[in-house]
Amino acid sequence: MSHPGNDEIIDNKRDSKVELSQNLVNEMTKFGIGIIQHMAAEILQKKPGLSLKEFTKILDEFLKKQQDTDHNE
């Protein structure tokens, strides 16, 4: 049987988990954007005037290499 005090505890735990999940997604997004910014700076030093399409292709190739490496370990 439900009890108001228990419902509040359950709701608070659920809300806390949702908030933690949202915080984790936010931090990982920041981390990922930081990596892309770092890569962009390095790539643009080597290839100034690179188009967005070319940059996206380089990122796709990098991701593919990472996935291949992960699968081969």
d(CA 14, CA 54): 44
Domain coordinates of the chain in residue numbers?
4-72
> What is the pTM assigned to this prediction?
0.63
**pLDDT tens figures, 14-46:** 888 888 899 999 999 999 999 999 999 999 999
Is the confidence at residue 1, as pLDDT, over 60? no
Q: Using one digit for the tens of pLDDT, what is the confidence trace for 40-62?
A: 999 999 999 999 999 999 999 99
Where is 52: in which H helix or E strand? helix 52-72
